Structure 1
Amino acid sequence: MIDLAVIGGGPAGLATAIHAARAGLQTVVVEKRSGPIDKACGEGLMPHATRQLELLGATPAGRPFRGVAYLDARHRVTAQFDSGTGLGVRRTTLHAALLDAAVAAGADIVQDSVRAVSQDDDAATVHTTRTDIRARYVAAADGLHSPIRAGLRLERPAGRARRWGLKRHVAVAPWSEFVEVYWSADTEAYLTPVDDDCVGIAILTSRQARFEQHLAAFPTLRDRLDGHAHGPDRAAGPLRQRVHRRTAGRVLLVGDAAGYVDALTGEGLGLAFAASRLLVDSVVADRPQDYERQWRRATRRYRLLTEGMLAVGTSPLRSVVVPAAARFPRLFAGAVNLLAD
């Protein structure tokens, strides 16, 4: 019997495996896909997330950015980070760095599909297509629409408001040292520098449409990107995922599987990295019941700020978000740095 089985080999699962292996736990990661995994993601790591990444010993190549800028048709306001720089990094590059760090730490990576998880008083069993893996604990890091979470009946109704994310890479040199967030009537476009000759464009929206249709709402951005080659589009959603709790016996949820508000504030990966340490600490102490309380405490600021921003951003007040930020730049900078720290 091993100490920890991690279901899902994305950033949250690999971060959990790195901390667990370094803590002396015999750790196995089960992931059905091979190699670096891509997905719809803003790809901008806030300073808090970059510090967590350093603790994990992963050093992906990317492009630093100094802060966040909000833009609409008439305004531009910037907020510089007080606590260091962020890092724009392609998701596949980040995943490769974390995978290398997990293997170096001593975690075993198994390419297989998980069919189910069962548990008793002494251990949990991960049933895959080829074998059964018995472990003292299981970390479910199987994503936004986690089958493990659903099987454990830990989900809550997400509500009527539904938002989706789309991502595209464009072969153009970055023109800003900031992550630029463009606002239209019902959509945000996030421009993140990820390399010297590439930017990532992430769209967040409550309206399902093709990427070009959304981009048409931002003529200045569209014109800058016009004529430049781009990669394939990726999509994810609905984004909001509500969860009753993050533990069920010997199974603990981490990353997007643990619940998700929205990508509006860009702190998903930073929180996943921080939560992975809390999960491992609870396993080492043999006190899984501590994880729920610690997760809530660690994510409280993010959840409150993101819920507040989302409420405004999906209301008639949406049109005043960028003008208000431009009128009160110190308040805007304070909010950005609360999330960055």
Structure 2
Amino acid sequence: MTDILVAGAGPAGLATALLAARAGFDVRVIDPRVGAGGDSSPIDKACGEGLMPGAVAALRSLGVRPAGREFAGIEYADGRRRAVADFPAGPGLGVRRTALSSALLTAVVDAGVPVQAGSVRSVDQDDSGVTVDGQRCRYLIAADGLHSPISRLLALDRPAKGRQRWGQRRHFGVAPWSDRVQVHWSPHGEAYVTPVADDLVGVAVLSSEKVPFAEQLRWFPQIAERVAGSDGGPVRGAGPLRRRTTKRVAGRVLLVGDASGYVDALTGEGVAVSLACAQALVDCLHRGRPQEYEKRWRTASLRYRALTSGVLWASGRPVLRRRIVPTAAALPWVFRGVVGQLAR
């Protein structure tokens, strides 16, 4: 019997597997997108690709150092005003999602953890373990993303309240024009420009309007002008972004990463929060107290959920939305304080 089966080879799943292996557990990872031994192409996903300093530090504590481009802070802009705040203790890192996936996958395989292609179709559990498609494990970790099949199998999904939002991302072969992640605001959505290499930027747009990326880019003429004529990679999309679950612990099945619950990508904390929750999960299993993970998850994700929900609420009201950038520019110490919280 395997100690821990991790379903999902995204950052949350791979970090959980790596932490669990180092804690002495026998671990396996399955994901339909990888090959036996983790020898397939790295997994890509639509995301902003900016790692906050806290996420960079957490990855380094795991010995994972993906290639990327450092950025000093965050800049908000609306075409007329801008607000700038640098991180108080070290830079963030713009990292291609494929580079992050590859670095984590290499660390997991080097730790002796098998990574295999596979999907979870059935889950049955009893007092001593979980049977997943006929294979036994002591614990099943659901790290299978926003549309978690395992959560659906166990009836853990809750209806998402409020407006739905989606994200799209594309890369452009131009030199970064800022050493910060720029967040451009329009009445229709937000565009994130992240430097990920010396000759490449990623542009991610978040919006409740489901229209093609090329149309979304026209909402942000300053960005469109910068990337005009440059080679662009494929467009990747994700959503709806809001995800709610009834609980994170269902017997011997524990949820981590986006599968455990997600508010929005607005504040860019997804990877940092997932890594913190992965550490909390493994700590609980190591102490033989998986039931405590629910409380630890709530504590580890509280700041992200509260801050993101607050900004999302304000951004959904046109009068307040128009004031976000002007207020950040007029109250720079407040903006620096918010960015400092995001950096943790």
How much has 1:91 moved relative to structure 2? Answer: 0.3
Cross-structure match for 2:272:
270
Q: State the 1:153 CA deviation.
A: 1.2
Determine helix, strand or coil for the equivalent of 2:74. Answer: strand
The total of aligned residue pairs comes to: 337
1:288-319 CA-partner distances (Å, limit 9, x unpaired): 11100001011111111000000001112101
Q: CA deviation at 1:3?
A: 0.7
Residues 307-339 of structure 1 deviation map (CA, whole Å, 9 limit, x = unaligned):
000000111210110011000011011011111
Counterpart code for 2:210: Q
Shift of 1:281: 1.1
1:332 and 2:340 aligned: no
In structure 1, distance between residues paired with 2:72 and 2:222 = 22
**Superposed displacement of residue 116, structure 1:** 1.7
Q: Which of the numbers 86, 96, 99 marks the counterpart of 1:93?
A: 99
**Residue number in structure 1 paired with 2:37:** none
2:184 to 157, 182, 185: 182
Cα distance in 1 for residues equivalent to 2:331 and 2:103: 39
TM-score, length-normalised on structure 2? 0.97
Distance across 2 between alignment mates of 1:277 and 1:106: 19
Q: Distance in 2 between matches of 1:133 and 1:169?
A: 40
Alpha-carbon contact 2:120-2:149 (below 8 Å) kept = no
Q: Does 1:216 align with 2:235?
A: no
Please state whether the residue corresponding to 2:122 is helix, strand or coil. Answer: strand
Report deviation, 1:284: 1.3
Name the CA distance, whole Å, in 1 between partners of 2:147 and 2:260: 10
- Write the distance in 2 (CA, Å) between the matches of 1:180 and 1:116: 43
TM-superposition CA deviations, 1:261-293 (whole Å, max 9, x none): 000000001111111111111111121111000
Q: Could you say which residue in structure 2 is the equivalent of 1:116?
A: 122
TM-score with structure 1 setting the length: 0.98
Which structure 2 residue ranges, 5 or more long, are not aligned?
Answer: 35-39
Tell me the SS of whatever aligns to 1:257: helix
Q: Which runs of structure 2 are paired with 1:1-341 in the superposition (5 Å)?
A: 1-34=1-34, 35=40, 36-127=42-133, 132-316=134-318, 317-341=320-344
3-state SS in 1 of match to 2:45 = coil
Assess if the C-alpha contact under 8 Å between 1:5 and 1:133 holds in 2: no
Identity %: 55
Deviation at 1:133, TM superposition (A): 2.4
Distance 1:40 1:214 in 2: 15
- Match of 1:77, SS? strand
1:2 is displaced (CA, Å) by 1.2
Could you tell which deviates more after superposition, 30-39 or 317-326? 30-39
Distance 1:280 1:106 in 2: 17
**How far, CA to CA, are the matches of 2:73 and 2:51 in structure 1?**
11
